[in-house]
Amino acid sequence: MIENIKAFLDSKVIQYNQPDFIKNDPVSIPHMFTQKQDIEIMGFWAATLAWGQRVTIINKCKELINLMDGAPYDFIINHQDTDLKKLLHFKHRTFNDIDTLYFIAFFRHHYENHDSLESAFIPSNPLKGEQEANTPPSGSWRVESALNHFRSYFFSLPDFPHRTKKHVSSPSQKSTCKRLNMFLRWMVRKDDCGVDFGIWNQLKPSDLIMPCDLHVDRVARKLNLITRKQTDWQTAVELTQRLREFDPIDPVKYDFALFGLGIEEKF
């Protein structure tokens, strides 16, 4: 049975992990750019705004890019206060101008001190919590530590808007962290299929956790890959551990299969 499920999912990975997947998916937004920082900024923003219909998500991201003069990194680093006025009416669902301006403030703060957004996900002492817990490191733990660290760092600027915290999740909140795990997949996974970028190196593809949205969750349960009743961080970890049985080096490649089955084939 397990072998049959693996063969089935492997075939679906091949079907969906190809350039044709890009045009209808939010990953098309960072693919509009070639500069690393632009890819990171708009990849993060596209992942953050990724709820609702994909067409709407893509259109809102393109609107945001236009408001930043088609050059997000340059705008973030070099804008004057008066340049921010045109962003005051940007909104997608519950993400509004307050959130937009804080994202820009955070990005400017970070890129004034770092060349890549990757460093924002790397704790300065990543083993501390693991040693205190007296448990061995694992891929799940590395990403859990990275996401918890990132949220703390993201909201470290003075007077951050409390309302914006709902847009950046973490395992410490028991969230599946679907959007952030999807962003990490884009940045970390390395293959020759052209969808994911693979421009980060401190996390490995084997470390990644499945982006567990409603479609992935539903399909995975139908395939008996999830037994946990609720859907939370531990559910995403459980699903990833099952998928590591199929491919321990690149378990999150099955996101293409499960998501494709759910949204394209209504499995």
In order along its 267 residues, the chain shows pLDDT tens digits of 677 999 999 999 999 999 999 999 999 999 999 999 999 999 999 999 998 899 999 999 999 999 999 999 999 999 999 999 999 999 999 999 999 999 999 999 999 999 999 999 998 755 444 443 444 345 678 999 999 999 999 999 999 999 999 999 999 999 999 999 999 999 999 999 999 999 999 999 999 999 999 999 999 999 999 999 999 999 999 999 999 999 999 999 999 999 999 988 888
Dist CA 141 CA 147 (whole Å): 10
134-143 long-range contacts, CB within 8 A, separation 24+: 139/204, 139/206, 139/207, 139/208, 139/209, 139/240, 139/244, 140/207, 140/209, 140/237, 140/240, 140/241, 142/203, 142/207, 143/181, 143/184, 143/203, 143/207, 143/208, 143/209
Burial class (CB in 10 A: 0-12, 13-18, 19+), 167: middle
In order of 17, 25, 109, 156, 211, the CA distances from 259 in angstroms are 11, 11, 35, 34, 9
120 contacts: CB under 8 Å, gap ≥ 6: 110, 114, 150, 153, 154
Instruction: Give pTM, 2 decimals.
Output: 0.93
DSSP3 helix / strand / coil % (the chain, rounded to 5)? 65, 0, 35
pLDDT at 264: 86
The 10s digit of each residue's pLDDT in 42-64 is 999 999 999 889 999 999 999 99
The 10s digit of each residue's pLDDT in 3-39 is 799 999 999 999 999 999 999 999 999 999 999 999 9
- 42 Cα distance to chain centroid: 11
pLDDT at 44: 98
Contact between 219 and 258 under an 8 Å Cβ cutoff? The reply is yes
DSSP for 165-188, written as a single string:
GGGS--GGGT---HHHHHHHHHHH
Contact between 49 and 99 under an 8 Å Cβ cutoff? The reply is no
Dist CA 237 CA 167 (whole Å): 21
